[in-house]
Structure 1
Amino acid sequence: CAGEENWVDSRTIYVGHHEPPPGAEAYIPQRFPDNRIVSSKYTFWNFIPKNLFEQFRRIANFYFLIIFLVQLIIDTPTSPVTSGLPLLFVITVTAIKQGYEDWLRHKADNAINQCPVHFIQHGKLVRKQSRKLRVGDIVMVKEDEKFPCDLIFLSSSRGDGTCFVTTASLDGESSHKTYYAVQDTKAFHNEQEIDALHATIECEQPQPDLYKFVGRINVYHDRNEPIARPLGSENLLLRGATLKNTEKIFGVAIYTGMETKMALNYQSKSQKRSAVEKSMNVFLIVYLCILVSKALINTVLKYAWQSEPFRDEPWYNQKTEPERKRNLFLQAFTDFLAFMVLFNYIIPVSMYVTVEMQKFLGSYFITWDEEMFDEDTGEGPLVNTSDLNEELGQIEYVFTDKTGTLTENNMEFVECCIEGHVYVPHVICNGQILHDCTGIDMIDSSPGGSGKEREELFFRALCLCHTVQVKDDDSVDGLKKNQFSRRSCIYISSSPDEVALVEGIQRLGYTYLRLKDNFMEILNRENKIEKFELLEVLSFDSVRRRMSVIVKSSTGDIFLFCKGADSSIFPRVKEGKIDQVRSRVERNAVEGLRTLCVAYKKLTAEEYSNVQKLLQNAKIALQDREKKLAEVYEKIERDFILLGATAVEDRLQEKAADTIEALQKAGIKVWVLTGDKMETAAATCYACKLFRRNTQILELTTKKIEEQSLLDVLFDLKKTVVIPNGNLTRDTFSGLSTDMQDYGLIIDGAALSLIMKPRQDGTSRDYRDLFLEICRNCSAVLCCRMAPLQKAQIVKLIKLSKEHPITLAIGDGANDVSMILEAHVGIGIIGKEGRQAARNSDYAIPKFKHLKKMLLVHGHFYYIRISELVQYFFYKNVCFIFPQFLYQFFCGFSQQTLYDTAYLTLYNISFTSLPILLYSLMEQHVSADLLKREPSLYRDVAKNALLRWRAFIYWTFLGVFDAMVFFFGAYLLLDNTVVTSNGQMFGNWTFGTVVFTVLVFTVTLKLALDTHYWTWINHFMIWGSLVFYIVFSLLWGGIIWPFLNYQRMYYVFMQMLSSGPAWLGIILLITVSLLPDVLKKVLCRQLWPTATERIQNASRHCQEHISEFTPLACLKSPRYRSSDCSNSPARRSNSHSKKVMFTQWKGVDYSVLPSVFGYSNKHCRSSAGYHCSGSGLETSI
């Protein structure tokens, strides 16, 4: 470790604050934070300024603040209240929400910081508050207590120096994990022994990774030269974890307060932005340009109009002579700002608040979905971020892990091959598998001589080469601890593969019993216990793809047993029956089984001594420890003798194939990224229907590249898959022909490394472009032998391609975290490999099958709702502000407002905001069942279809048209010939109120026309908002309000309602405004309907024709199953004169609608092409 003393990324901790012995090393006191946890953002003193600063960092809030200040500074046509009050409302509501949330955080912090903790001081236990704990304090924690800070485990009440911990509050894993005390301190069991300890700890600076820790402890045993021991994550007890099945432990605090790993994980992941949010920001910029253009046009026209004789401002316009003669440029700039204020309402101040509320409240529909709850695991879906809800409806690529995601990760030992001889873990008698028998079935002849020795070595290797723990209960199935039996062992491991192997070997006659005092005990076939001293463990990692153990037998022989992937073992084998084992491994892989190879070598005492020194030096290194360990492992793990191989089955998850098929029909490309070997992964891909029988498989593997150059291979593949028609890809022809050849690509990690490798000649970009072109024309891609970083590279490569597709990554393990974070949307499976993927994801689901509803239903709904919300907000504000623009042509560009101040203030925050919020939460344009049965409907909303420029321009022009109808219709219908009941003509404010009334009713009824899913809440909100407007207007105009300095609206609304022409005009204008949109919807639905609109039309027809008693053939049973009816003929009566079976079930089977109503099968046929009959109880008439 020379040269590491000056490493600045480490800290030195003095255990118990004891100085090292004199002359050992210099005592350098260091300052560390106390153990106070602060999760709150604000204090009582900084809440107002800090919260205001954070809120005004948002562009929208800052924009409205500038508008409000302009209204205060210059003479504007509208009161500062019109923009100040909505801004104050938004700021206040947000501040109250954030202040309340922070108050709750303060309460939680105080509860944690004042929790009592026991620590050792002068050889005695002392109790004090958690917040007063310091780095170096020795703490005692009792069973079921949480660790108050990050501790190095010194000793426990258990004799073997272990303890059991649950980390559910950190990573969600409820299983008990085993942690190990420092070897030199695990024998200290009381306060006096612990307090007498002299030791220093050197470790890395705080970092948030829960599963990584590097350090070393130097223990002084009455001498100046310390004994150095390595420290890893297995010695680190994390704050927030709970001690279980252990009476008490002692530990020394190394990270406290905000430096604990739990606190460092408070920080959120990098912010992801959805395509809808990006479109919304672009539209906002467009409307800002429109706003500036309107203000500029009006300013120019004002001075052009005033330049004509006799049209200058009159003397009674309250302008003093100096003001009238001041600098023209300054006056024009002031007028420009005044027009900006007048038209600023085109930017909806409440849209951002509404969008946030919609996303937050809408996310609960996922967590409340009972169909996505898994009863086996007791888990439901989780939403870690609500900002990406609508992105679920825009997915173009799904990147999925295989093991634990597509498969159950429930491993079962199938067979093992030892030097070419195959063994299965059961006895087969007369074709029946007898699971209760313990024995071996030899598929071929039994080995003899040296083969018998290799067989026993193989079984011992599998019994010893693992990290499995035996469940430590007082009794298991009624047996006492020390009464060993082959049926009494319950194994626990973070790797299901290891448990399957140990359980499989138990059925073959060798049973792993336990690890006690560093000795591993196994029970052999003769029921004799064999003991092996565990010398070293070379842990598994995803780069090496293997693990090893070094053990010493009772006879003194030292063995190194290694198991791992065939690609990792075969290159390191020097002898053994390689060809026979390789052949069996390849055969098992083709059948979809997971394979591992087992090898060994003997070590002499001298060789082990050298190995031990190399490992010790690498383990105690603080800098680049993992790299140094990898180098040592590479030196040790070589020159093996091959023993054999194992085969483990991992079954496909329920409905995984159905889910992938549905995603492909929805136009989503599915890629499988796995670390498994090619044959195993390919078999799984066929099983889950990613590859089909007619799919032509193309390979881009290391073997292929060895035969040809990489560039030649890529060019050959491109010629095969690219359609010879210019630059058109297969995506262009999707859906036009079903006879096109499907291609599937298989690529391995080594080939991908060559493609991604940067080159000095600049050809790396050519390789990547060719690879993307090939992938773009393949229906499915399998990437095997992938390292975790390579998975992320693949996702990034597709994400940054020229089409910029929306990507989703889904996985269940820690090795999937990198690709989950890289994708636009990351989904974690709450699986058996822990919750690291679920913790780092945007969403978490229990099973892969739930992805179907997540995307095809929830994603579809979310996108429809949010896009309608955004477009509707801009539409209603164009309708609102464009009449103001037109009115300036009739008032000499005097900046006179058309609407009253109260209407300007409340339009966006009261009159029109609640109906669209409810619509964006509850709208269902088609049923959820139809979206699941017709995955192709997902294509209707793909590629941001509802927020493209075409849709944006349509909504904008519709708003302009409606605004012109409001203004010019009211202008023409309520001309000077119209008088009120008292003989007066309509004035300015009455005219403006008529326009505003038509506006409010039109935009609200427009939303009602667009609503397909009606509930009592919709009715209440839509009609209630109109009633609220009328009641407010009656009160606002019917009372003389003393706090107002004007009463211009007094009796205006009542005067309008008392006029027959006004009533007629309002009804007529609302009808004319809605007519174009209604005609457009009707004509498009009849002449150019989308697939979704065809389904809606069919649904309406069906609802009209279905009575209380409906022919059974047109209905589905509540017990309907696609499998039940896919093989049964339709039972429909061919003649209405015949006897027909009837039922009162109401569920409509839309799969028969094409034949009933004459729609094209291409659009209306169910996804599986079913023509299903009803089933269940029937009543004959």
Structure 2
Amino acid sequence: GFDPPHQSDTRTIYIANRFPQHGHYVPQKFADNRIISSKYTVWNFVPKNLFEQFRRVANFYFLIIFLVQLMIDTPTSPITSGLPLFFVITVTAIKQGYEDWLRHKADNEVNGAPVYVVRSGGLVKTRSKNIRVGDIVRVAKDETFPADLVLLSSDRADGSCHVTTASLDGETNLKTHVAVPETAVLQSVANLDKLVAVIECQQPEADLYRFVGRITISQQTEEIVRPLGPESLLLRGARLKNTKEIFGVAVYTGMETKMALNYKSKSQKRSAVEKSMNSFLIIYLIILLFEAILSTILKYAWQAEEKWDEPWYNGKTEHERNSSKILRFISDFLAFLVLYNFIIPISLYVTVEMQKFLGSFFIGWDLDLYHEETNQRAQVNTSDLNEELGQVEYVFTDKTGTLTENEMQFRECSINGIKYQEVNGKLTPEGFSEDSPDGNRHSLMKEEELFLKAVCLCHTVQISADQTDGADGPWHGGGTPATLEYYASSPDEKALVEAASRVGVVFTGTTGDSMEVKSLGKPERYKLLHVLEFDPNRRRMSVIVESPSGEKLLFTKGAESSILPRSKSGEIDKTRIHVDEFALKGLRTLCVAYRRFTPEEYQEVGKRLHEARTALQQREERLADVFNFIERDLELLGATGVEDKLQEKVQETIEALRLAGIKVWVLTGDKHETAVSVSLSCGHFHRTMNILELVQHKSDSTCAEQLRQLAKRIKEDHVIQHGLVVDGTSLSLALREHEKLFMEVCKNCSAVLCCRMAPLQKAKVVRLLKTSPEKPITLAIGDGANDVSMIQEAHVGIGIMGKEGRQAVRNSDYAIARFKFLSKLLFVHGHFYYIRIATLVQYFFYKNVCFITPQFLYQFFCLFSQQTLYDSVYLTLYNICFTSLPVLIYSLFEQHVHPHVLQSKPVLYRDISKNAHLGFKPFLYWTVLGFFHAFVFFYGSYLLMGEDTSLLGNGQMFGNWTFGTLVFTVMVITVTMKMALETHFWTWINHFVTWGSIVFYFIFSLFYGGIIWPFLHTQDMYFVFVQLLSSGSAWFAIILIVVACLFLDVVKKVLYRHLQPTSTEKAQLAEAGSGVGCVDSVCCVPAGEAACASLGRALERVTGRCSPRRCGISLGS
């Protein structure tokens, strides 16, 4: 029998749930196969959602205010706080409830999908949610795997199958998975039902590419142990391709599958605007507390005099008058707190969320960010950081696939110390033309052939299943057989295998555990014994094969830094020189080597590999040790040089970023010379730039000394621009003890290039800059799995939809198809989003200062009796209805400068950098402006319609509610007109909501004051608004006060624009003079011509500035 291990970090799975009979086994509890992506149930929705919402400070604050209004006698109705709070909470709850209902619906669809499992000797149809760990599941072609399965067998003799994991990591290439030989032969349900085996594997973890386990198979009297790795695991969500059917045993189910563990949680990154918003909230809370405390103190100071005792009409009872002074003070303080509480804008968070959510659609709709060749448009994974795109100070970019196309073309190679080029399908030594007689040709043929065979055997390239048959035909000439099409996850490998096939050594596919190669038309079969997979730490991969003659060979390829030190023979020095020459041309380099094993050596290698691969504990560490033991004493064969072309407009984009004041750092795994060559060609380094180097340092002291010298040189030559090159080893030393000095050098350099970087080093560099005293806003952009760590670390992470899978895209905040799109994303969308939301935040606080300050001033006229100036309905609707829409529409459509101007003048980006519009000065300006306007509202109304002024022709005086309504009317008109003054880009929607808000206020007030409402306990507002509008002097007061408020604002704008214009204001003036027309490319979804034209017409009607003409589509009628 099988005894389970005692370690808690492994699980034991008995296939087909055949548990041992000896009684020692205690069944382990595993998750069922239900997928639960929903957050709520019917029973916990209300309490859980309310708890989540009241964790937000603003909501909790208004809840406290509402409870205070319920508990004590306050000047305003609890409805004034309760209704807006209820509205905000309800809208959010409905949105979240609907989203969760959709998740429940999707879960039920997945969990109820039909599947077939092997039970009681037959196939049983059941639902996906009923699969248990240990069940044998059958999956047919083009079906998705319902759980994480260990492959037992397929319809192929070798037990292999092809899988696509596009839904998991976006990689569209087919991956081959294989079963262990002992179960691969079990291709029928009857045979599988007899299988007695147990799987021991690690507990569930999120890493899609890691799986450590072993299978122990009981065959008659012996037990066979085989290792299980990622190649044996079929992941839930992946799809079976080119294979009729497979059988697999469920090892992870439900929420323990790798797919479920990889559910992407919402980004926790916080933007600079959100931090500013929270700071402003604290300042306004202090203002609120100050006003409440001051009012309470003044109340008691004035009431200390007998003539100013509390008025009789406040209705205080004798008991209340004689209660404890401390309790009365607290009660009055809370009452003033309630009276002034609207200085904190309750609807700010909801409006900001709506603006971010709706505004993010414009990025996806932008035609300029659509890549026609790949049919990919920009993608927004989180809308929380839209405005952060306008604040970037540092860009960290990967090189391969981000700055370059990641489309490799073989250019040169070095074999046995001689450089070769491909000329018309033949390898020709450098300096010889195709027709030149080459005296060394025959003596080198053996080395050339061995080198090309190494290239053809040491890779993970696949051939499409429907094409392999065609590869058996006769081979013609020096080209690739027409029927062969190679697929590879690594573009380098594909380029090398294709190049080898063109010059005479053709990889024709795999059959079972054999690799087939045609060397000059002669087929050869190599038995694949072991694959030593590539990993970023080793920077190499190897295969051990058995040649047709029975010889055991190791073929290795990798970075020259990992191959050359392990080589003991071959033309090492010449090859190193050639590698450096390739790198100077900007070519990507790999070195190729091999080793022959004696039978004794191979036996030792096989034993060590088996022990490491079947280990359940520390398997990776053991394998690394074994790989190092195997990959030594190599014989160097040569090196390859592969060209990776720069993407279109990379140079222009980097130059634009530099003009915008953004520093660009290139972080790459490539060798020093290659990286420098590409940096020069893409404009990251200029030819006139002084290039400083911090490379090849092995000790801490030499690294520190070099850093000090570099700092000195920069200080002495401060006039010219400097570029810095750092390699991975030197960087590790610099970050260990000399972080401050290293940062000082980097910050004084215009451009920094870090080469030979490991993925975690990239993240460390980003974190180092992010946490430096200046705390600059960082952006990281990359396309591969090795870029994920830096993308997650940066304030803004951007994934490139490239050829290295979709891990970068899945883990990014935004995704684009090409590096050149970065300029539009930052200079246009980032600029717009920042201006929009900065104005939105400042305006919200401004209009609430305007709203509440008259309440405070009015207390000086009513002996701080807590009498409210406004009616409760107006208090409730001010933020919800009367002033909310104009600023929301502004924050969606505002374009203060034409998009084409912003993109053509990157220097305008500097005007908004370092949170310029949400700094202390702009905040102070908007706050002082709010107080100034509030004073004008109140004292202007008081002076113009004061004690000696009659309201009506019959001499009737105006009362408290009429005065309050006049102040409120002036305020609604002024703050709406202020928003109009801030708007540069008018659409019909802006006109509708701006003037419509004022009209709506008048209509609502006439309706509200024109009817006696039976459910209201007072009718204070009855006929008040009608009386106010029937007075000519009231109309005069309204017009005069509005003009007085806005006149200074207009004068200030005009003077500043002409005397001290910013770069942005100069651009606005130039634009107005040139009469720039309609924007060609704001928002068009690439969903076919008809859809594009239809959307273009609709959006042009909405914004007045949107047309899909860049698609080459006519708007038609």
1:448 CA drift (Å)? 6.1
| 2:391 paired with 1:394 | yes
| 2:860 paired with 1:872 | no
Aligned-partner Cα distance in 1 for 2:700–2:247: 61
* Alpha-carbon distance change, 772 to 988 in structure 1, aligned in 2, over 3 angstroms: same
Aligned-partner Cα distance in 1 for 2:749–2:177: 48
* Alpha-carbon distance change, 708 to 329 in structure 1, aligned in 2, over 3 angstroms: closer
Aligned-partner Cα distance in 2 for 1:491–1:834: 17
| 2:1027 paired with 1:1055 | yes
| 2:352 paired with 1:359 | no
Question: RMSD in angstroms over aligned alpha carbons?
Answer: 1.9
Match of 2:560 among 561, 566, 586: 566
Match of 2:157 among 135, 147, 159: 159
Q: In the alignment, what sits opposite 2:962? A: 990
Q: In the alignment, what sits opposite 2:43? A: 45
Tell me, yes or no, if the aligned pair for 2:591 and 2:639 is still in contact at 8 Å.
yes
SS in 2 for 1:709: helix
1:45 CA drift (Å)? 1.4
Q: In the alignment, what sits opposite 2:1102? A: none
Q: In the alignment, what sits opposite 1:256? A: 253
| 2:284 paired with 1:287 | yes
Tell me, yes or no, if the aligned pair for 2:140 and 2:240 is still in contact at 8 Å.
yes
| 2:145 paired with 1:147 | yes
| 2:647 paired with 1:647 | no
Aligned-partner Cα distance in 1 for 2:164–2:553: 34
Match of 2:513 among 506, 513, 518: 518
Q: Mapping of 1:407-806 within 5 angstroms? A: 407-427=404-424, 437=425, 440=428, 443=431, 445=438, 447=440, 451-473=444-466, 479=470, 486-487=480-481, 488-525=483-520, 527-702=521-696, 709-722=702-715, 740-757=719-736, 764=737, 767-806=738-777
Aligned-partner Cα distance in 1 for 2:571–2:112: 65
Aligned-partner Cα distance in 1 for 2:68–2:757: 59
Aligned-partner Cα distance in 1 for 2:519–2:758: 37
Q: In the alignment, what sits opposite 1:900? A: 871
* Alpha-carbon distance change, 443 to 533 in structure 1, aligned in 2, over 3 angstroms: farther
1:314 CA drift (Å)? 4.1
Matched AA of 1:845:
I
SS in 2 for 1:175: coil
* Alpha-carbon distance change, 314 to 921 in structure 1, aligned in 2, over 3 angstroms: closer
444-453 or 408-417, which moves further after superposition? 444-453
Tell me, yes or no, if the aligned pair for 2:898 and 2:1071 is still in contact at 8 Å.
no
- Give the unaligned 5+ runs of structure 1: 428-436, 725-729, 731-739, 758-763, 1107-1114, 1120-1181
Aligned-partner Cα distance in 2 for 1:19–1:50: 41
Aligned-partner Cα distance in 1 for 2:461–2:68: 71
SS in 2 for 1:60: helix
SS in 2 for 1:547: strand
Matched AA of 2:178:
Y
Matched AA of 1:416:
C
* Alpha-carbon distance change, 67 to 481 in structure 1, aligned in 2, over 3 angstroms: farther
SS in 1 for 2:314: coil
1:315 CA drift (Å)? 4.4
1:513 CA drift (Å)? 0.8
Match of 2:1054 among 1082, 1085, 1109: 1082
Aligned-partner Cα distance in 2 for 1:28–1:187: 31
Aligned-partner Cα distance in 1 for 2:999–2:269: 40
Q: In the alignment, what sits opposite 1:1164? A: none
Tell me, yes or no, if the aligned pair for 2:396 and 2:665 is still in contact at 8 Å.
yes
Q: In the alignment, what sits opposite 1:1066? A: 1038
Aligned-partner Cα distance in 2 for 1:7–1:484: 56
Q: In the alignment, what sits opposite 1:204? A: 202
Matched AA of 2:29:
R
Aligned length: 1070
Tell me, yes or no, if the aligned pair for 2:540 and 2:558 is still in contact at 8 Å.
yes
Tell me, yes or no, if the aligned pair for 2:310 and 2:865 is still in contact at 8 Å.
no
1:1098 CA drift (Å)? 1.6
Q: In the alignment, what sits opposite 2:9? A: 9
SS in 2 for 1:65: helix
Q: Mapping of 1:373-384 within 5 angstroms? A: 373-384=370-381
* Alpha-carbon distance change, 474 to 545 in structure 1, aligned in 2, over 3 angstroms: closer
1:50 CA drift (Å)? 1.3
1:274 CA drift (Å)? 0.4
| 2:803 paired with 1:836 | no
Tell me, yes or no, if the aligned pair for 1:808 and 1:825 is still in contact at 8 Å.
yes
Aligned-partner Cα distance in 2 for 1:160–1:768: 54
Tell me, yes or no, if the aligned pair for 2:164 and 2:172 is still in contact at 8 Å.
yes
The C-alpha deviation readout for 1:1117-1175, integer Å capped at 9, x for no partner, is 999xxxxxxxxxxxxxxxxxxxxxxxxxxxxxxxxxxxxxxxxxxxxxxxxxxxxxxxx
Tell me, yes or no, if the aligned pair for 1:426 and 1:507 is still in contact at 8 Å.
no
1:42 CA drift (Å)? 1.3
Tell me, yes or no, if the aligned pair for 1:422 and 1:443 is still in contact at 8 Å.
no
Q: Mapping of 1:120-131 within 5 angstroms? A: 120-131=118-129
204-213 or 445-454, which moves further after superposition? 445-454
Matched AA of 1:831:
G
Tell me, yes or no, if the aligned pair for 2:207 and 2:258 is still in contact at 8 Å.
yes
Aligned-partner Cα distance in 2 for 1:869–1:792: 34
Aligned-partner Cα distance in 2 for 1:362–1:523: 57
Aligned-partner Cα distance in 2 for 1:170–1:926: 41
1:706 CA drift (Å)? 6.8
Q: In the alignment, what sits opposite 1:1019? A: 991
Aligned-partner Cα distance in 1 for 2:865–2:604: 94
Matched AA of 1:521:
E
1:159 CA drift (Å)? 2.4
SS in 1 for 2:216: strand
Tell me, yes or no, if the aligned pair for 1:978 and 1:1061 is still in contact at 8 Å.
no
Matched AA of 2:66:
F
Aligned-partner Cα distance in 2 for 1:600–1:90: 69
| 2:277 paired with 1:298 | no
1:182 CA drift (Å)? 2.4
1:601 CA drift (Å)? 1.3
1:270 CA drift (Å)? 5.2
Q: Mapping of 1:787-936 within 5 angstroms? A: 787-936=758-907
Q: In the alignment, what sits opposite 1:76? A: 74
639-648 or 269-278, which moves further after superposition? 269-278
| 2:1005 paired with 1:1005 | no
Aligned-partner Cα distance in 2 for 1:152–1:72: 62
Aligned-partner Cα distance in 1 for 2:229–2:285: 56
SS in 2 for 1:722: helix
The C-alpha deviation readout for 1:73-121, integer Å capped at 9, x for no partner, is 0000000000000000011111111111111111111111111110001
Tell me, yes or no, if the aligned pair for 1:491 and 1:499 is still in contact at 8 Å.
yes
Aligned-partner Cα distance in 2 for 1:848–1:446: 48
1:316 CA drift (Å)? 5.0
SS in 1 for 2:172: strand
1:838 CA drift (Å)? 0.3
Aligned-partner Cα distance in 2 for 1:141–1:930: 56
SS in 2 for 1:117: strand
343-352 or 437-446, which moves further after superposition? 437-446
Tell me, yes or no, if the aligned pair for 1:426 and 1:441 is still in contact at 8 Å.
no
Q: In the alignment, what sits opposite 1:228? A: 225
Q: In the alignment, what sits opposite 1:99? A: 97
Match of 1:976 among 942, 947, 962: 947
The C-alpha deviation readout for 1:501-543, integer Å capped at 9, x for no partner, is 0001111211011111211111112x11111111111111111
Aligned-partner Cα distance in 2 for 1:589–1:316: 90
Aligned-partner Cα distance in 2 for 1:897–1:8: 66
Aligned-partner Cα distance in 2 for 1:1116–1:839: 35
Aligned-partner Cα distance in 2 for 1:497–1:267: 30
228-237 or 1020-1029, which moves further after superposition? 228-237
SS in 1 for 2:60: helix
- Give the unaligned 5+ runs of structure 2: 433-437, 1082-1117
Aligned-partner Cα distance in 2 for 1:1025–1:382: 34
The C-alpha deviation readout for 1:147-192, integer Å capped at 9, x for no partner, is 1111111111122322122222222223322222223211111101
The C-alpha deviation readout for 1:554-581, integer Å capped at 9, x for no partner, is 1111111111111111111111111211
Tell me, yes or no, if the aligned pair for 2:420 and 2:427 is still in contact at 8 Å.
no
